[in-house]
Structure 1
Amino acid sequence: MINGDFGFWAHQNPSIRATPLAASGTADVVIVGGGYSGLWTALALHTFDPSLDIVVLEAEQFGFGASGRNGGWLSSKPVGMRQVLSGSSSREQVLDVEDRLHDTMQAIADGFTADGVDIGAAHGGWIQVARNASELTRLRASLAGHRAWGLDESRVRLVDATELRANIDIHDAVGALMSPDCIRVDPFRLLAGIVARARAAGIRLHDHSRVTDITPGVVQVGALEVRAPRIVLATEGYSSALKGRKREMLPLNSAMIATRRLTEAEWDRIGWASAAGISGSAHTYFYGQRTPDGRIVLGGRGKPYRFASGFDERGAVDDRTIAALEAIVSDLFPWLDAHAEYAWCGVLGVTRDWSPFVDWDHSTGILELGGYAGQGVTAAKLAADAGAALMLGRNDSITRIPWVRPKPRKWEPEPLRWIGANGLYRAYSAADWVEQRSSTGRTSAIAKAADIIAGR
C-alpha cells in the first residue's frame, strides 16, 4: 500500500512543476498559497485587469494541501449557512449565494470541457445515506430546511431504501437524500488545469517558496522578499503555520483511502453506475466517490486535530485510521473484499463559526479568504471572485455576498483547542454508537450538547 506521499490523485497524474523564488523583487499582487483559493484569485484578478503583475508563492508543491488531496466533489452544497442565518444577512443574500455556488459548479466543469481539458468531470449528483432511524430523522429535517429555502424536488429529494438500492446497494440503508448538484472530478487534474491557465495568463508561479512573514506591502520568503501593495493570504488550513496566526484557522484533519480496482461483476452488484458522490449521515460521517478507473475512494476524520495546530507528516495515515476507513467500506458492502491500496490525509481550514470569510483590509492591502470547512472545491472559486472584485474596487454584486465579512474570532488557546476538538470528536462517536442501537429516531443528547459547544 502507498501511504501518504501526496495521495492517490497525485499518483495518477503528472506532477505540477514550477521554480522556487530565486531573488527578491516587486509585483502588483503577491498571493500566498498555491491551492484553489490562491490560483482562482490570481486568475480572477488577471481577468479583471490583465496588466497586473501577479506572483503566487507555494510552500510545497502546488496542490500539496487540501486542493490536491480532497474527495473530488465539485458541488453546490451550501457553505456557512449557520453564519448567514444568524441575522447578519437577508434571505435574498443567502439564496444569491446558493445560486452562485450552483452556477459556479457548472461553469468550472463546462469551462474546462470547452477548453478540451480533462478534469475527470462526470455529473452524478450526491447521495447522503441514512442507516438508522436517527439519521433518517435528520435527513427529513434537512429536507425541510432545503424546502424552506426554496429548493424543490428537482434539486433535492428524499428516497426510501428501495429506491436507493436501485442506485446503490448500501447495507442497512433506510433512506437517503439525493441531489443532482455535484460533479465528480479528479481534484489534482482540476488543479493542474487551473495552473495551466495561470501560466498561460503570465502569472508568475513559484513552488517550494515558503513564506516566513507577512507585513503590509512585504512578503518574506526566508532571506528573500517580494514587495507589493496588495497581498492575498490563501493558505486555508495551513494559515496556523504563519507568524501570529496560530489560532485563526483550525487545521482539521481528514484521511482518505482508495481501494483496489473492483471488477465489473462487483460493480454490477453494488449498482453504483452513476458518478454520484456518497456520504453518511452519522455525526462522524464518511464521504466518497467511484473513480473513473473503478476504485472506491472514501474519507473520514481519523485523528481530527493535532496539538498546537500541527500538521500531518506529508500525508501519512496511521494504521488505526486506515483500518477504520477500510471497516466503513466493509460495513457499507459486507460481501466486498476491498482493501486499501492508497492512504493519505491532509488538513482543511475551519473558522470558529464554521463559515467562510472574504476579508479585504484596504488600509493594509491584505485580502484573506477561506474557511470552507470541507466544501471548498466550488466555494474557493466563488470566494476568489469576490475577493478579486473587492481588491480592485469593483462595484459588483458579488462583493456583497454574506461571506464578505471580517475574519471570525480566534479559536481558544491550547490545551483548550486540543481538548475541545478531540473531545468533541469522541462525543460525536459516542452519539453515533447510541443512535445505532436506538429505534426512537431522536438525535442523541450527546450530539446536541456537542453541537452547542462546537458553535455549529
Structure 2
Amino acid sequence: MTIVAPAAQRTAYERHAPDPRLVEQALAGSRHAVFWLEDAPGPHHEPLTAATTADLAVVGGGYLGLWTAVQAKRRDPGARVVLLEAETIGWAASGRNGGFCEASITHGEDNGRSRWPGEYSALERLGRENLDGFERDVRELGLDCQWERTGTLAVAVEPHQVQWLGPDALDAGRVRGEIASPLFLGGTWNRRDTALVHPARLAHELARVAVELGVEVHEHSPVVDLAGGRRGPVVLHTPRTTVRAAKVALASNVFPSLLRRTRPMTVPVYDYVVMTEPLTAQQRAAIGWEHRQGLTDLANQFHYARLTADGRILYGGYDAVYHRGGRLSSAYEDRQATYARLTSHLLATFPQLAGVRISHRWAGAIDTCTRFTAFHGLARGGRVAYAAGFTGLGVGATRFAANVMLDRLAGEQTERTRLSMVRRLPLPFPPEPLAGVGIELTRWSLDRADHRAGRRNLFLRTLDAAGLGFDS
C-alpha cells in the first residue's frame, strides 16, 4: 500500500531525497546475494541417512537451535544431542540479519513495560545478564564472530522525535560529531546494551563448538512430521529416516511449526537491506563514525545501519512486507522498489556519499507475533519445547530462549520459567483474509503516523488500548 503525502507532511528522507539518478547508479551492478554468507561460508555437515536415537533432538540450525544444542551439552556432557537442519547452518534469518545483538528480550522498553509492567525490572535485568553471558561465551568458547560491544545511537530525524529522546539526549551537534548526517537532530547513545556481530560467522562458530562438544549436526535433513511423545519417545520423521528422542526442542523460526496449534501465532514479514562497497578513506572521514556504534532512527518505520569489519555500511529496515496467506518464497526477496527506497534513504542520510556503490542487496523473513517478542511453550506432555516470534531481535534473545527451553524440558523451576512472559502465549493472528487486512492496515497507519508528526490514528490507538500496539 503506497502513501502519497502532501509536501508539508513528507518525512526527512523524502524532503532530502537524492537525485534518482544517483540511486540508479548506486544500485547498478549490485548483486542479489547475502554478503554475510558469501563472506563466511560454513563447513558441510552430512545429512542424516540412518535411524538414530537421542536424549535431545533439536529441530533447526539457526541461532536458537545452535544455542540450545551447545547449552544442552554444557549442562550434561554425556547427553546425546542430535541437531537437524532442513537446509544449511545459518542460511535463513541467522545468516541474513543486521548483526545487532541486543540486551532487550522484550523488543524494547516501551513494549516490555506496556505488556509486563509488574516484571519489567526483572526482564530488563535478565536481558542484560543474557548479553553479558553472551559476551563471556564469545570469549570462553572462542567464537570468532567479530564481536563489538559498541552500543547503539538512536537518532531523531524529525522535530517531533526530539521530544521522545528524554533527559539524557545528545543535541544535534554532539550526535553529528559521532556520525555526520544533516538529518540528525538529536539522539541517545546507549553504550552497553548492544553488540555487533558477523551473523554468519556467529552461526558457523556455534555449529563448530556444538560439534566439538559432541553434538551430531545434520544439514539437508528436514523434519516433516512429529509423532508420539505423550507416553514415550518423540519420533521425528525426515524424508530418509527417523530419530527417536526423549526430548525435543523446536527452533524452526519463521517456518511453519511442527505443532499445528502454534502455527497461527506467527506470520512471516520480509525485511530488506543494502550493503555498500568498502568506503574509501575520504568517505569514512566525511561521515566520522569512529566509535562504530549501531545506528537506528525513531520512526515507526525505522531504519538500522552499521559498519562492517571491512568498512562497508549495511543499511536496512523501513519496509516490512507481508504476503497474504503467510507465504514464504525466495521470489519475494528481490524487491526492486524497496532496494531503491533504501538506497535513496541511505543517500539522504549521507549526501556526502554520493557516488557510493551498493555491492549486495538481500532480504529475509522475520517471524513476528502479536506481542512482538518471543513466546515459549511446551507440548506432548512436556517432552517438546518451542520458542518463536522473535520479531527481528533474535540474535541475543535466542540464547535466553534456549535456556528457557532447556529449563522447561528438565522440569526445572527457575526465575526464567516463572516469568509471565514465558508462561503466557500471545494472541494468535486471525485467519485470512482478516490477518492480511489487519497487517496492511497496521502498516499503513504506522506510515501515516510518520507523515503526521507521530500522531497515531484511531486504529493504532485502539490496538494500543488492547495491548496489541507496536511502537519502535
TM-score range, shorter chain: 0.7 to 0.9
The answer to whether residue 399 in structure 2 is matched with residue 381 in structure 1 is yes
Which residue is 1:154 aligned to?
Answer: none
Which residue is 1:365 aligned to?
Answer: 383
The answer to whether residue 264 in structure 2 is matched with residue 253 in structure 1 is no
Relative to the length of structure 2, the TM-score reads 0.85
C-alpha contact (below 8 Å) 1:326/1:339 kept by paired residues: no
Output the CA distance in 1 between the equivalents of 2:314 and 2:243: 40
Which residue is 2:83 aligned to?
Answer: 56
The SS at the match of 1:191 is helix
Which residue is 1:160 aligned to?
Answer: 171
Unaligned regions of 5+ residues in structure 2, if any?
Answer: 1-28
Which residue is 2:153 aligned to?
Answer: 127
The answer to whether residue 220 in structure 2 is matched with residue 208 in structure 1 is yes
The SS at the match of 1:27 is strand
Query: Following TM superposition, by how much is the alpha carbon of 1:447 offset from its aligned partner in structure 2, in angstroms?
Result: 7.9
Which residue is 2:469 aligned to?
Answer: 455
Output the CA distance in 1 between the equivalents of 2:373 and 2:45: 32
Which residue is 1:191 aligned to?
Answer: 203
Match of 1:279 among 252, 277, 296: 296
C-alpha contact (below 8 Å) 2:442/2:460 kept by paired residues: no
CA pair 447-271 structure 1, distance change in 2 beyond 3 A: farther
Output the CA distance in 2 between the equivalents of 1:60 and 1:2: 25
Which residue is 2:181 aligned to?
Answer: 170
Match of 1:425 among 429, 432, 443: 443
Output the CA distance in 1 between the equivalents of 2:87 and 2:61: 9
C-alpha contact (below 8 Å) 1:254/1:304 kept by paired residues: yes
The answer to whether residue 393 in structure 2 is matched with residue 393 in structure 1 is no
Unaligned regions of 5+ residues in structure 1, if any?
Answer: 144-156, 436-441
Match of 1:238 among 251, 255, 271: 255
Which residue is 2:129 aligned to?
Answer: 103
The SS at the match of 1:422 is helix
Match of 2:65 among 38, 41, 49: 38
Match of 1:112 among 132, 135, 138: 138
CA pair 138-4 structure 1, distance change in 2 beyond 3 A: same
Amino acid at match of 2:178: N
Query: Following TM superposition, by how much is the alpha carbon of 1:13 offset from its aligned partner in structure 2, in angstroms?
Result: 0.9
CA pair 89-229 structure 1, distance change in 2 beyond 3 A: farther
C-alpha distance after superposition, 1:405-449 (max 9, x if no partner): 1432321111121222223222222222233xxxxxx53437844
The SS at the match of 2:421 is coil
Output the CA distance in 2 between the equivalents of 1:400 and 1:298: 38
Which residue is 2:99 aligned to?
Answer: 72
C-alpha distance after superposition, 1:152-203 (max 9, x if no partner): xxxxx32111110110112221111210121111111111111111001111
The SS at the match of 2:164 is helix
CA pair 129-258 structure 1, distance change in 2 beyond 3 A: same
The SS at the match of 1:196 is helix
C-alpha distance after superposition, 1:252-295 (max 9, x if no partner): 21111111111111111111111210011111111111111111
Query: Following TM superposition, by how much is the alpha carbon of 1:344 offset from its aligned partner in structure 2, in angstroms?
Result: 0.9
Amino acid at match of 1:229: A
Which residue is 1:350 aligned to?
Answer: 368
Relative to the length of structure 1, the TM-score reads 0.88
Query: Between the two proteins, what is the percent identity of the paired residues?
Result: 27
Which residue is 2:118 aligned to?
Answer: 90
Match of 1:137 among 163, 167, 170: 163
Output the CA distance in 2 between the equivalents of 1:87 and 1:297: 32
RMSD (CA atoms): 2.4
